[in-house]
Chains A and B, each alone.
Chain A
């Protein structure tokens, strides 16, 4: 890893000011992706601005039917939260299956979605639940937030402060994970809300997206058999050493059906 200037910010304002002053700065949250990326020299920021000292950014609050989770809340904290478990159990379960226990003790919600790995779990939940990303400047709907492979709607000096998740009637996340990394080869988050059924898909394409073809096939009913006839565009699927595009297209349907069955159970 190349060396850099390091600063631990005490507040959101201080972090943003440090970023604006930096030549090529990066915020570090838990660092569970960023530090390995820097060790591989795939990233070499001039300045690393540590968000770990900003107490306001961590925490979980439930207000009526909305769960708001601070950007620096760890996966372990979300997984162990009785409030999240009661309000959106599928979200707590998702957080408890990211990486491994030591990674979950450091990795954060904000870090995960800012990085927007095409195989990350949280993006599927944000899209499936219709969550809202809150930054130091504005609120962004999840569907508008994830814009491409490792790309988001965030400006360079914009900082995620929290994510608000509306409580669904029922939801479930199913992933077919890579046995080494635990990243999703394909993951599907299905949520039944007052406004209908929403489906978030991760791992399959360049970045997490809404499964509109799948939603249309369901027509508002949690009926797994309705997924059988869906024709998914194989040419848009990722292909790598772990799974071909055809296999991923197949997995999207299988994981969707399993999530629907878990919702109905």
Chain B
């Protein structure tokens, strides 16, 4: 067993984990932050994307031990004072979801897209940059619209 410490959504947390514990398991099973989903468990689908030290990563493909000492942001950490993050609001406004299972990962990846490309991002770029996130409902059209709207929202 290992003792690990990290900051999750602004709060210091610690835990005892098996060496093989994945970051997503630590978040979901120990911290009960179940907004981060496990879709494929093979690094393909992106439902488990969170931010570690500001970069989007697949939390099913990172050991909890590797995140020791890091700052982690999950979907639960985006809203503040009861107000949705602009990207969450854009997904709501544009109906950027069908079943909603992939949505947390889509939103986390979308914020990373804005970080790297700015608040004006064209459709082709959004589609290319979302290639690590799979929507099993194939609802990409509104997801892309939502990302573009959210990017504008984040840009002020």
Q: Which residues of A contact B (CB under 8 A)?
A: 1-6, 8, 28, 31-32, 35-36, 38-39, 48, 50, 52, 76, 80, 99-103, 105-106, 180-182
Contact = CB atoms under 8 A, between A and B. Distances in A.
Nearest to B129: A101
Contacts of B2: 6
Taking residues whose C-beta sits less than 8 angstroms from the other chain, chain B's interface range is 20 to 34
Q: Which of B43, B65, B112 neighbours the largest number of chain A CB atoms within 10 Å of its CB?
A: B43
A50 B69 CA distance: 14
B14 interface: no
Contacts of B41: 39
Nearest to A3: B20
Given A6-B65, A31-B62, A102-B46, 8 more contacts: A39-B41, A48-B63, A100-B133, A101-B56, A101-B116, A102-B49, A102-B112, A106-B61
A187 B19 CA distance: 37
Given A31-B66, A48-B19, A50-B66, A182 B131 contact: yes
Nearest to A35: B61
A209 B22 CA distance: 35
Contact of B57 (A2, A36, A50, A105): A105
Given A35-B61, A106-B62, A100 B131 contact: yes
Contacts of B46: 100, 102
B66 A102 contact: no
Q: Chain B at the A interface: mostly helix, strand, loop or mixed? A: mixed
Contacts of A5: 19
B59 to A, nearest CB: 9
22 contacts: A3-B20, A4-B19, A4-B20, A5-B19, A6-B65, A31-B61, A31-B62, A35-B61, A35-B62, A36-B43, A39-B41, A48-B19, A50-B66, A76-B55, A100-B46, A100-B132, A101-B132, A102-B58, A102-B132, A103-B132, A106-B57, A181-B44
B19 A36 contact: no
Interface string B110-133: 001100100000000000010111
Given A5-B19, A35-B61, A76-B55, A101 B66 contact: no
Nearest to A76: B55
